[in-house]
Copies of this chain bind each other. A is one copy, B any other.
Amino acid sequence: MGYRTYLELAKPLLGDKELIATGMRAEIDRCRTAIERALKGQRVAIVSSGDAGIYGMAGLILEVCDREGLRVSLTEDPMNTDFLLDIIPGVPALAACAALLGAPLMHDFVSISLSDLLTPWETIQKRIRLAAQGDFVVVIYNPKSKKRHWQLGVARELLLQFRHPQTPVGIVRNAMREGQTVVVTTLLDLMNHPVDMQTLIIVGNSTTYIYGSYMVTPRGYLAKCRDPEKD
């Protein structure tokens, strides 16, 4: 089961399994159908893109099970369990995009979604400001959509209050998919590049630099000029 586009991408791996493709705004219905089938004893997998546990479906399926009063479990306990529910980790978009950019996530980072449909914009804004203050690398999910145009510009202004305009920024669209584009730019020029729903943005910290076509956040080994006493 899954959003149509993702099942399409996974098709080569799915063999002759039954596929239940649903539209974009049907997340809760999708969970309910999966639960119905699991209660009948069927083995169901809900597919997310990237990692299901990072802005994916892992949380929602657990929430819906909870609300429906079901007893689910990670381990075999057939006496006290309606069905087993296992979360399978994947390569998150942030790791895929970081790899395409070089190594921007080598130091402490935050992941923030700019979608204010489920989170008040005040909360998002506060988090961006705190992340900027803490000199975290900032990973931005959902920077823009057809209906949300202005959030990225405001986020950039907030970051510029604490970070140099020449701070490296990576913009990755359609990571590891058809139509992939990878751009390394600066906070100053961020708004001059196309950004859409399939885009992830990584804003460097104060030490991030450009080396050839790579964006690199140093961990600090070389700054110490010796092999570190790694722990």
Q: Is the CB of A183 closer than 8 A to any CB of chain B? A: no
Instruction: Give A147's nearest chain B residue, CB to CB.
Output: B231
In angstroms, Cα B136 to Cα A109, docked, is 11
Is A16 an interface residue, CB under 8 A from the partner?
no
Taking CB atoms and an 8 Å cut-off, the chain A residues in 210-229 that contact chain B are 211-214, 216-224, 227-229
Shortest distance between the CB of A1 and any CB in chain B (Å):
15
In the complex, identify which listed stretch (A7-15, A37-45, A124-132, A186-194) lies at the interface while the others stay far away.
Answer: A124-132
CA distance A72 to B216 in the complex (A): 13
User: What count of chain A residues pass the 8 Å CB interface test?
Assistant: 87
How many identical chains are in the complex? Answer: 2
Contact residue among B65, B106, B147, B231 (Cβ-Cβ distance under 8 Å from A58)? B106
Given contacts A90-B95, A99-B87, A219-B118, contact A72 B212 (CB under 8 A): yes
Contacts of A89 in B (CB 8 A): 91, 95-96, 98-99
Residues of chain A at the chain B interface (Cβ within 8 Å): 24-29, 51-56, 58-60, 62-67, 71-75, 87-92, 95-96, 98-100, 102-113, 115, 117-119, 123-124, 126-127, 130-131, 133-136, 142, 145-148, 197, 211-214, 216-224, 227-231
Contacts A134-B127, A231-B115: A102 and B58 contacting too (C-beta < 8 A)? yes
Q: Is the interface of A mostly helix, strand, loop or mixed?
A: loop
A133 to chain B: closest residue by CB: B130
A211–chain B nearest beta-carbon distance, Å? 5
Find the B residue at minimum CB distance from A128: B134
* Minimal beta-carbon separation of A224 from chain B (angstroms): 7
Would you call A63 and B221 a contact (CB within 8 A)? yes
Q: A19 to B95, alpha carbons, bound, how many Å? A: 26
From B99, B212, B218, B230, A24 is in contact (CB under 8 Å) with B230
Contact A213 B73 (CB under 8 A): yes
Separation of A217 and B111 alpha carbons in the complex (Å): 14
- Mind listing 11 A-B residue pairs with CB under 8 Å? A27-B230, A51-B91, A52-B99, A53-B106, A89-B91, A108-B110, A108-B113, A118-B219, A118-B228, A127-B134, A148-B231
CB contacts (< 8 Å) of A118 on chain B: these are: 219-221, 223-224, 228
